[in-house]
Amino acid sequence: MKVILDSRQIEQTLTHLVDRIVSDAPAQPDIAVVGIRSRGEVLAQRLSGRLSQRLGKNVPCGTLDITLYRDDLNSPKGNAQPQVRTTEIGFDIDDKVIILVDDVLYTGRSTRAAMDALVDLGRPRVMKLAVLIDRDGRELPIQADYVGFKADAAPGQLVQVNLVESDGKDEVVIE
């Protein structure tokens, strides 16, 4: 197991992401943040708070559960029952700039599922993707608009994001 980001580096990376999003913000006045369960949700909450402070206005934050939109839901390899949780978006997404947040962008399949789920809820003006970690291995033509850190992980390696809110500590490791 190799630590690629410690808590201080995660904080710096989030600050960098906020800087990049804010640099686009004047052209995008009606902005909201939506995190993909579960660690994308935590990162979205952190980004929303920082964006609200930097922009001097409330940047709403929601949580999106993509379980029923996953293309591996009925996979013959899986025999576990999927755990469906709630989507909690307490604002209208129509005509908003939605910053979709996830912890790791790898194959692109979770992002595709999230885009499908969001479109079922309304019609955003624009969807932009922000990820803490980007790694090689895309199976779909999806790329992030805002990347915190580019991880050099070999196929078969796992990039694990641990966050205080869910795991008791902030770090990113490659296993």
Residue 161: which pLDDT band, with cuts at 50, 70 and 90? very high
pLDDT on residue 83: 75
Q: Measured between alpha carbons, how far is 145 from 17 in angstroms, rounded to an integer?
A: 10
pLDDT on residue 68: 85
Domain for residue 78, yes or no?
no
Residue 26: which pLDDT band, with cuts at 50, 70 and 90? low
pLDDT on residue 40: 96
pLDDT on residue 123: 97
Domain for residue 120, yes or no?
yes
Residue 28: which pLDDT band, with cuts at 50, 70 and 90? low
Tens-place pLDDT, residues 71-86: 665 555 555 666 778 8
Domain for residue 76, yes or no?
no
Instruction: Name which of 6-10, 77-81, 104-108 the model is least confident about.
Output: 77-81
Backbone angles phi, psi at 39, to 5 degrees: -75, -25
Residue 38: which pLDDT band, with cuts at 50, 70 and 90? confident
Closest to 34 in 3D by CA, of 11, 59, 10, 68: 59
Domain for residue 134, yes or no?
yes
pLDDT on residue 23: 92
Q: Please say whether the beta carbons of 32 and 61 come within 8 A.
A: yes
Backbone angles phi, psi at 134, to 5 degrees: -115, 135
What percent helix, strand, coil does the chain show, rounded to 5? 35, 25, 40
Domain that holds residue 146: 2-70+84-174
Q: Measured between alpha carbons, how far is 175 from 161 in angstroms, rounded to an integer?
A: 11
Domain for residue 42, yes or no?
yes
* Structural domain count of the chain: 1
Query: Is residue 133 within a helix (H) or strand (E), and if so which, with residue range?
Result: strand 126-135
Q: Measured between alpha carbons, how far is 146 from 7 in angstroms, rounded to an integer?
A: 20
Q: Please say whether the beta carbons of 173 and 141 come within 8 A.
A: no
For residue 173, pLDDT over 90 is answered with yes
> C-alpha distances in angstroms, 93 versus 45, 48, 87, 96?
17, 15, 13, 5
Strand partners, 64: 36
CATH number at residue 164: 3.40.50.2020
